[in-house]
Amino acid sequence: MTAPVSDSRPLYLDAINAQRAALPGQTVPAIRTLREEGQARFAELGFPTARLEDWKYTNVSAIAGQLFKPVNGALATVSSEQLHSHLFADLPAHRLVFVNGRHAPALSSVGKLPAGVIVGSLAEILATRPNIVEPHLGKIAPTGTNGFTALNAALFADGACVHLARGAVAEQPIYIVYVSTGDTDSVMTTPRNLVVLEESAQATVIEQYLALDDARYLTNVVTEAALGANSRLEQYRLQQESTKSYHIGTWYVRQARDSRFISHTVDLGGLLARNDLHDILGAEGAECEFNGLYVVDGRSHVDNHTCVDHAKPRGTSREYYKGVLDGMARAVFNGRVVVHPDAQQTDAQQMNNNLLLSRNAEVDTKPQLEIYADDVKCSHGATVGQLDTDALFYLRSRAVDEQTARDLLTYAFANDVLSRMKLAAIRLPLEQRLTTRLLRGRSLNELELI
């Protein structure tokens, strides 16, 4: 492990300078400019600290105090047998696999794509068809939001690129898998994903982040999505990283008229995980729905920051996040909804519910509404508590022992979020993982309650 330093910024800037010339797309002026802006902003900002309101409850000093070296060199060897047990095996999909942040063609399986659908490695598309990327990359996610987004802009080398032309429909999901291996100890990957749906296009995109070993590393990923008029995007984001790892994930979405975006975020791993989801409803009739679940224990920390910008009239947003915390785990939820003066007839709802299974678990929740229009329907709320004593009494009165009753209520609380997922090939394996974790490996059938 690298010894802690007072300010690791110079180390990261040296790493950027050492890698810059070899990064894909450096011959494309817009890409070169994006990386230069990222480097300049990181030099100015450094890593966020608790003095910043948005990072008040999330301490990243373990990241800021050392250099997580950018992945460099040959692709790590991962066999399909090693990977298979971690994947959603029953999911028919166009699959892109990245090992330690770099595309692994041998593990990927992109079938015949419908007309107007492009799915591939960002590095390869930058080399062959940069015109697809240039109008959008770096135009949706601000480069200087914080030090992490700036560092990603300066160092990104690869990621997934999904582009659907006007009216195109991807019948099968697009499945993006990021695998970290045991030789990633104290290194950093900076994936950059771009999803573009032109007018009336439809797609489902799945991001899965997983580890083959319990290594210590940093994943710093940024995804940008542009949704054209009347387009539909459903996104699944599943974080199952190493228990020693750090995961910083940022999604920026920009929606056009009558577009619809649905997001499902599930956090089941990582020592520290931070998810930022910012959606700009930039035209009339745009709709979004965010569903989130985090189940953490030990000393894990998970932070979900969302922001929905209702910029135009008749927009609709729904946010529904739930957390289950045990041990000395900690969670943060900060949901911000901004209704701008022109966004009349906005309908926005937000809720965050948390279940604490331990006296030492802690949640900081802060739902926010900022309303600058007068013809709106908005609500928000948050709860932090323990299991319902009345529900426990009901189960106990029906000969269910106390531990089983607690496990069942905890499972039902968490599974409520998974039930919102349309894809059974994703939902059912996650439900099974919840039974292993919350029902101690027993199924509901084994408990003879259904």
> Tens of pLDDT along the chain (450 residues)?
444 556 789 999 999 999 988 999 999 999 999 999 999 999 999 999 999 999 999 999 999 988 999 986 556 778 888 888 899 988 999 999 999 999 999 999 999 999 999 999 999 999 999 999 999 999 999 998 899 999 999 999 999 999 999 999 999 999 999 999 866 668 999 999 999 999 999 999 999 999 988 889 999 999 999 999 999 999 999 999 999 999 999 999 999 999 999 999 999 999 999 999 999 999 999 999 999 999 999 999 999 999 999 999 999 999 999 999 999 999 999 999 999 999 999 999 999 999 999 999 999 999 999 999 999 999 999 999 988 777 777 777 776 777 788 888 888 899 999 999 999 999 999 998 988 888 776 666 665 554
Contact between 219 and 139 (Cβ < 8 Å): no
Give the pLDDT score at 444. 63
Does the pTM surpass 0.75? The reply is yes
Give the type of residue at 300: S
DSSP string, 214-239: ----EEEEEEEEEE-TT-EEEEEEEE
Contact between 41 and 150 (Cβ < 8 Å): yes
Separation between Cα atoms, residue 350 and residue 369, nearest integer Å? 9
- Count of C-beta atoms within a 10 Å radius of residue 243: 15
- CA distances to 214, 217, 241 from 182, in Å: 7, 9, 12
Q: Which residues contact 268 (CB under 8 A, 6 or more apart)?
A: 238, 239, 240, 294, 295, 433, 437
Between strands 102-103 and 202-211, the pairing is: unpaired
- Residue listed under structure tokens 């419908």: 114
